Amino acid sequence: MEDTRNLIDEYKGMTNEQVFDALSKKRNELEVAIENVSHDFNVGTIVRSANSFNASKVHIIGKKKYNRRGAMCTDKYLEIVYWENCSDFIHDQKERGREVVAIENNTPRAKNLTVKNFVDKTTLVFGSEGDGITAELLEAADDVRFIESFGSTRSVNVGVAAGIAMYEWARQCATKR
């Protein structure tokens, strides 16, 4: 029977667990965090992109439920960790020596993503489109970056922003191996 899952040929015919295990052997150091993203489809899109970049973990802070349809079943192939609150997440990140980089365009602290020099052990944080990342998490982040816009809108969709930021991390870190 033909495997119709959205997988590259290398993983066709494997069980979900076998795909997870095969990817685990070559995971990137990148982690992604999503804080209270209000549009469920955006969470699925971010999870799908995290899988595409073979991130080692996805952290979901706050609201637990999301529309997994947007993830196209990729949530089965990576570790997803749920955090009830921001402080526990930040404690985990600091304890594991990770650089927390918030992607947020609505704060004076933000600098352009194009001039960021990423380290391997980075966790990229994304927030809801309306409210953005909470003040608590922005304050705790090691760095805050924005993605510049060249049109009339001040920002791109959070799912798109996540893909852009993950690609920039991968361009600097994952492709250099």
Q: What is the pLDDT of residues 102-125, one digit of tens each?
A: 999 878 999 999 999 999 999 999
Cα radius of gyration rounded to whole Å, the chain: 16
Q: Encoding tokens for residue 53?
A: 């970049």
Query: Measured between alpha carbons, how far is 115 from 38 in angstroms, rounded to an integer?
Result: 29
> What are the structural domain ranges in the chain?
21-176
Query: Would you place residue 6 in the very low, low, confident or very high pLDDT band (cuts 50, 70, 90)?
Result: confident
Q: Could you tell me which residues come within 8 angstroms of residue 174 by beta carbon, excluding any fewer than 6 positions away? A: 28, 30, 53, 54
Q: 12: how many CB neighbours lie within 10 A of its CB?
A: 12
Supply the pTM of this predicted model: 0.92
Q: Which CATH superfamily is domain 21-176 in?
A: SPOUT methyltransferase, trefoil knot domain (3.40.1280.10)
